[in-house]
Structure 1
């Protein structure tokens, strides 16, 4: 029996008997399975047939992904086995930043295909940032007319029309993936100044912004000009402006109408030049606007500085695995107000980081380069003191695209490290260790190659 299943199933029992032929067709059954949850499944393989049973179509889909792995790893026939499997967390995510560099619909669809191999079920699209605005807002047409035509390095940028966004949503749904759109406010909004300059403050060239520019050799922003570098923390909407309130309401309401999923991400991070009281008041109002659409607001952990967030707001932690409390403390606000937390520790599953210092692409600000072992060497229940169990909604790997310009770049940085995030999100706590994971990860090589994934063949992994 192959040891190569990833994420690791809840239970695998090897059975004596002849193999199931490689050209065999499985039987799919929808029927009640007690204790398996909405996404769980059972897979039974015998010489005379393979049967996948689940409570939902999603469970059947995940069972099929497991059977595909077995088929690739046992090309001469699958040994008899019984698998019972259910995910640890309901939210298993991947974030693609389409603002720093824009990616067309076809690339996003390929990313969704890749995600399905790992049983990931939420694609978080970071649609706006200082470099560009990537979603059509018909009530605010200047956003795409003036703010979408730039990106890091000076490329042409781009945006998704309503129809293109719906195409992405529909394609994702066929793979049981929910789209989580993010429009980042009040910071990361320099691009808005190209369309509606009256809504945006002049760049805040505070010491942290100057330090980034000098240390990384990056250009500083100029108000009214497209920003094609990637210093962060300098931009902000005018948080006390009534016109900004109307703008945010227009954007959130229109985006909610395009989004069948339950979540709207409103950002709320890295406002280095915005006074704390102005920031906390603004994010509470923006989250309330999102909640008024019937969606659940999601925000980066800095939003937890506000104690007035709507009840049930979701927080996304992007601190470090050795967090000193600077990120963990505000994250508690979300839980205290009846919400949950998505975990994206930057030094583990920010997959835009370099594997090694000499790599041609990637960043390294979060505790230096991130090896595959680094991406696996953490535990959700102990990441943030006092937040565990049901307080955690799930896990999300994130790909920021300052240095990423193509699908080949996406593949190389994402794979294999996204597999570590997928296992943390799906498999039960303590079920595996690094040695088991690296062996099972190596067994994914043939399947990933067959899918055209240009993954990094890390020397840490015994690739098949």
Structure 2
């Protein structure tokens, strides 16, 4: 059977020879944080507690000089060795090792193998929307663990939207006092204190993930108007918004009243009011001070309530504010329509695998400006899309349900004409939470499709095993590991799930 390795490593050589047996006396050596991380995953997978020894059975090491985040893994009957080019590479080698652990005839073992591996893209992201339905810190921690196990290295937190503002701001305390208590459908809201946010950043960093926070501007800002109505325009109602309300329920948005519906595009800030830019500078300045990573995401999508000229003026100024804070601006692809966007701005494309409505031209604008793009095609890597037509969670606006096969069968360099490998910063799988309330929902919607996004992000595009047929078998072999890690994945009928001891 094909080894259950996802994402597929660059080079895998298996041998018809005895593998390594994990037993209660197995020992490990290496950097302390790496030892602890490996011991935890082995304990959860097998119940065996690894002990530390200088002359160990499993040796973890770092040897600088290789490609960033790369590693090599060697397994034979006598020993296991993982050598990373850096701490992240060592961590990812341990995730691969965890996937190799098997249980057969009463023994835990690791098959003999030689693996040399490095990522295709440097930015491998997952996005978690905590605005439509607030997710507590413990859930964010669990999501980080799950994503890191698949070698994702960026956590994009969508912190603000029409339904709520989710981060404490000392400069603007009313944001959480007045605009954080609700979620979609009237569910309870919530927010992160600064201490909570720092804890998330630290937890992610320990797992080699960088937090990319998003404050969505100038649309998706109804919650801002609940807290500070003097800088928000009244809701702009259109037939599209009325249709969404008719389809999904809820009331019309009203100025300064918390919004609990699903319609988008009706909110905007007052673009010609200098108090708006004072607000933007205040909240982005606080966010930048809290965030050690290089990116600040300022949204820019679906600003249907903002005139085109006003939108352009706002995005020009907002990207300049981010740059002045020492961060790289990141926006959704709509901002590519703006002539004087800051040149360093990275665009995130959320259109379809086959672009429509000029979305590809807006994405190309970032590349022409000398920057790059992140690909998040909604009909492939939006994890909140229904996996099947009869699924009880999710939406279908992105070309209908997204099966696991469709999530897998796309090639990043084929999405937008004129945007090649070097123009792509990376891939990001997005999990919006209009219909998703808790960790169980997150698991069921993300897994197994998140594994397809991981492979698009990490694995070489070519190779005998880089196929849907092989991928579905490899994913199926991860069922025992995912069960042991407590991941409540959707047992999709598309995948031949491996049975047996978790």
Range class of TM-score, shorter chain: over 0.9
**1:434-453 correspondence to structure 2 within 5 Å:** 434-453=468-487
Report the Cα distance in structure 2 between the residues aligned to 1:121 and 1:190, rounded to whole angstroms: 31
Deviation at 1:117, TM superposition (A): 1.2
Deviation at 1:218, TM superposition (A): 4.3
Deviation at 1:230, TM superposition (A): 1.1
Deviation at 1:265, TM superposition (A): 0.3
Query: Are the equivalent residues in 2 in contact too, given 1:73–1:443 (CA < 8 A)?
Result: no
1:43 to 59, 64, 73: 73
In the alignment, which residue of structure 2 is the partner of 1:456?
490
Verify: 1:54 aligned to 2:88, yes or no.
no
1:425-454: CA deviations, max 9, x gaps?
A: 000112311101101010110000001111
Moved more, 269-278 or 181-190: 269-278
Q: Residue 77 of structure 1: SS of its match in structure 2?
A: strand
In the alignment, which residue of structure 1 is the partner of 2:257?
225
Report the Cα distance in structure 2 between the residues aligned to 1:73 and 1:81, rounded to whole angstroms: 17
1:11-51: CA deviations, max 9, x gaps?
A: 01123432111234421121134xx4110000011111111
Report the Cα distance in structure 1 between the residues aligned to 2:397 and 2:251, rounded to whole angstroms: 18
Deviation at 1:83, TM superposition (A): 0.3
Verify: 1:363 aligned to 2:395, yes or no.
yes
In the alignment, which residue of structure 1 is the partner of 2:62?
30
Moved more, 177-186 or 319-328: 319-328
1:289 to 311, 315, 321: 321
Name the TM-score, length of structure 1 as normaliser. 0.97
Deviation at 1:206, TM superposition (A): 2.1
Name the TM-score, length of structure 2 as normaliser. 0.90
Verify: 1:63 aligned to 2:93, yes or no.
yes
Consecutive unaligned residues in structure 2, runs of 5 or more: 29-57
Q: Residue 471 of structure 2: SS of its match in structure 1?
A: helix
Moved more, 69-78 or 239-248: 69-78
Report the Cα distance in structure 2 between the residues aligned to 1:139 and 1:213, rounded to whole angstroms: 34
Query: Are the equivalent residues in 1 in contact too, given 2:169–2:283 (CA < 8 A)?
Result: yes
**1:7-22 correspondence to structure 2 within 5 Å:** 7-22=7-22
In the alignment, which residue of structure 2 is the partner of 1:107?
139
In the alignment, which residue of structure 1 is the partner of 2:308?
276
Verify: 1:348 aligned to 2:354, yes or no.
no
**1:154-169 correspondence to structure 2 within 5 Å:** 154-169=186-201
Moved more, 274-283 or 126-135: 274-283
Q: Paired residues, what number? A: 462
Moved more, 214-223 or 378-387: 214-223
Q: Residue 280 of structure 1: SS of its match in structure 2?
A: helix
Deviation at 1:213, TM superposition (A): 2.3
1:404-442: CA deviations, max 9, x gaps?
A: 111100000000111000000000112311101101010
Query: Are the equivalent residues in 2 in contact too, given 1:209–1:234 (CA < 8 A)?
Result: yes
**1:72-221 correspondence to structure 2 within 5 Å:** 72=102, 76-221=108-253
In the alignment, which residue of structure 2 is the partner of 1:240?
272
Report the Cα distance in structure 2 between the residues aligned to 1:115 and 1:72, rounded to whole angstroms: 21
Query: Are the equivalent residues in 2 in contact too, given 1:193–1:199 (CA < 8 A)?
Result: yes
1:53-81: CA deviations, max 9, x gaps?
A: 12101000000000011014675422221
- CA-based RMSD of the aligned residues comes to 1.3
Report the Cα distance in structure 2 between the residues aligned to 1:448 and 1:212, rounded to whole angstroms: 37
Report the Cα distance in structure 2 between the residues aligned to 1:215 and 1:155, rounded to whole angstroms: 19
Q: Residue 286 of structure 1: SS of its match in structure 2?
A: helix
Deviation at 1:217, TM superposition (A): 3.8
**1:320-359 correspondence to structure 2 within 5 Å:** 320-324=352-356, 326-359=358-391
Query: Are the equivalent residues in 1 in contact too, given 2:244–2:262 (CA < 8 A)?
Result: no
Consecutive unaligned residues in structure 1, runs of 5 or more: none
Deviation at 1:150, TM superposition (A): 1.0
Deviation at 1:334, TM superposition (A): 1.0
